[in-house]
Structure 1
Amino acid sequence: MDGPIRTPTEPILTLAQWLSPGFPIGAFAYSSGLEQAIADGVVTPATVQDWLADMLRDGNGVSDAILIRAAATAADPQAVDRIARAFCPSRERLLEIDAQGAAFCAQLRANWGIDATNLTYPVTLGVGIRHLGLPLTMAVQMYLHAWVSAVVAACQRLMALGQTEAQRIVAALAPLCSEIATETETKTLDDQTSQSFAADIAAMRHETLSPRIFRT
C-alpha cells in the first residue's frame, strides 16, 4: 500500500530498519577519522577495539546518545540541532552528521510522514523516535551498535582485519553500547562533552589526507 507508514506494529523492526547498513544514509562512506589514524599507524588490528571504546565512552558515542535523548523529548528539536552542530569538534564531524541527517530526514518525510528537515543525524533519529513512540533506550543502544559495526567495516577496508576478528570486536563492544545507553537516561544537554582528543585530531587531519577512500 502506498503512502506514509505512521504507526509501526513492531517498534524494534522499525529501529532495525533505520539503523541497518542498508538504510540509505550513506554510513558506509564515513570512517570518523579512522582512515587518518590507520594511515598514521596509530590504530592497528591490535588497538582498534580500544580506540573505538574511547570514542564511545568519551567522544561522539556518549555525545550522540545525549543528543538523541534530548531531541526525542525536546519541544524544539531545532534548538537541539544547533547544539549538535556547535559541539562538533571538526568540519569532518559536522559533515558526517549533517549529510547522514539530511538523508535520514528525506526517508522520514517520504516513508513515515514525519516533517523533518535540515537536522543532524542523531537529532533526526530522536525526532523519529518521538513521532512514532519508539523505545528510547533501545534506540540509543542500537544506534551505538550500528555505529560500531559501520566503523569496524571501514577498518576492514583499510587494514588487515579479518571478518572473524571484526565480528569479535563488534561483539566485545556491545556491552559498552548498552552501558552508555543506560547511563545517559539521566543526562541532559548540560552533560554534553567530548574528550576523545586523538580521534578529534585525526578527523581534522583527514581533511588533507591523500589519497583517501572515505569522506571523513
Structure 2
Amino acid sequence: MSIEAQQLLLLLNWMSPAFPTGAFAYSHGLEWAIEDKAVSDAATLKQWIEDLVTRGSGWNDAVLFSRCWENDAAELNELALALATSKERYLETTQLGRSFGIAASVFLPSPLAGEGGRRPDEGPPRLNLSPAAARHPLPQGEREDWAYPIAAGSSCAALDIPRHHALLAYLQGFCAALTSVAVRLVPLGQTAGLETLRDLMPVITATAERAATASLDDLGTITLVADIAAMKHETQYSRVFRT
C-alpha cells in the first residue's frame, strides 16, 4: 500500500491545520458539551471524540469520504447534506467544503466550487488528474453547498491518492480539530491534548480500516447527545466557535 511522494505531500497539505478551510472556527457542538460539563478533562474528551469517530458523525463522514473512490460525487453529496443532523452541522460541513474546494483548486485543473474550469490563459494544471477522475468527476458548477467529506474525498480520489492513506489523514484531521477546541476551552494543557491524540491513534487506524471497505448501508449513528449538543450550541449565550 504505497503512496507516491507527490501524493503524500498533497495529502499533508490538504489535511494540515494550516490549510485554509477555516476549520479552527468550528467546534462541531463540542463547545456546548464543554459548557455543559459533559467534556471536562482529557478522559471525557477522548471518549467524546472516539464515540463520534466510531459511531457518530465522524464515522458517517469517513464512510462518505471513502465512497468517493467509487460512487458519483453529486449523489454522495446529496446524501451527506441530508445526513446533517442540525442547522449548525449543515453550516459547518458546507462552509468547510466550499473553503476546501476553493483552496484545493490551486492544485487541480478546475476548482471544486465555482462556475467553470481553468481559463486558457492560466496555463497547464499543477497536477494531473488520474483516470478515475473521468469516471468520478470533481464537484463543480453553480451549486456551492458541497459537504466537506465529499469535497475532500473527491479531490483525493481524482488525484489517485490511496484511499487508506487519505482516510487516515482525514480522520486524524477531524480528531485534531476537536482536540484543539478542548485545549482552548476546557482548558486542557498542550501535553494533555497531545496525549489525547496519541490515545486516539488506534481508534483512527481501526476506523480507517472499517471505512475503507464500508458501503452506504453501513451509515448510521447513535450519538444523540452529540447531535443535541450541536443543536443547543445554536442558541448558546456566549460562544467562541461558529458551531
TM-score when scaled to structure 1? 0.92
CA distance in 1, matches of 2:153, 2:190: 32
CA distance in 1, matches of 2:51, 2:205: 15
Tell me the CA shift for residue 114 of structure 1.
3.6
CA distance in 1, matches of 2:152, 2:63: 12
SS at match of 2:149: helix
Tell me the CA shift for residue 31 of structure 1.
0.7
Counterpart residue number, 1:213: 240
- Indicate yes or no: 2:85 matched with 1:89: yes
Tell me the CA shift for residue 9 of structure 1.
4.7
CA distance in 1, matches of 2:206, 2:5: 27
Counterpart residue number, 2:19: 23
Amino acid at match of 2:16: S
Output one character per residue of 1:94-152: Cα deviation in whole Å (capped at 9) or x when no partner. 11110000011112223322442332110011111121000111111111111111111
List 4+ stretches of structure 1 deviating above 4 A. none
CA distance in 2, matches of 1:156, 1:57: 22
- Indicate yes or no: 2:234 matched with 1:199: no
State, as a whole percentage, how many aligned pairs show the same letter.
Answer: 36
Amino acid at match of 2:80: A
- Indicate yes or no: 2:157 matched with 1:130: yes
Counterpart residue number, 2:62: 65
Amino acid at match of 2:161: L
SS at match of 1:111: coil
Tell me the CA shift for residue 161 of structure 1.
0.5
Structure 1: which 5+ residue stretches go unaligned?
Answer: 1-7
What does 1:60-209 correspond to in 2, within 5 Å? 60-74=57-71, 76-117=72-113, 118=144, 119-209=146-236
Counterpart residue number, 2:39: 43
CA distance in 2, matches of 1:11, 1:174: 22
CA distance in 2, matches of 1:215, 1:171: 27
CA distance in 1, matches of 2:242, 2:111: 28
**Superposition RMSD on alpha carbons, in Å?**
1.3
CA distance in 2, matches of 1:207, 1:192: 25
User: How many correspondences in the alignment?
Assistant: 208
Output one character per residue of 1:163-212: Cα deviation in whole Å (capped at 9) or x when no partner. 10110001110111110110122211122111111111000000000110
Q: Which is greater in Rg?
A: 2
Output one character per residue of 1:27-68: Cα deviation in whole Å (capped at 9) or x when no partner. 100111010011011111141111111111111121111111
SS at match of 2:105: helix
CA distance in 1, matches of 2:36, 2:103: 37
Structure 2: which 5+ residue stretches go unaligned?
Answer: 114-143
**Is the CA contact 1:108–1:114 (under 8 Å) kept in the aligned structure 2?**
no
**Is the CA contact 1:70–1:188 (under 8 Å) kept in the aligned structure 2?**
yes
Amino acid at match of 1:108: A
Higher share in helix: 1
CA distance in 2, matches of 1:60, 1:166: 21
Counterpart residue number, 1:54: 51
**Is the CA contact 2:55–2:221 (under 8 Å) kept in the aligned structure 1?**
yes
SS at match of 2:33: helix
**Is the CA contact 2:29–2:230 (under 8 Å) kept in the aligned structure 1?**
yes
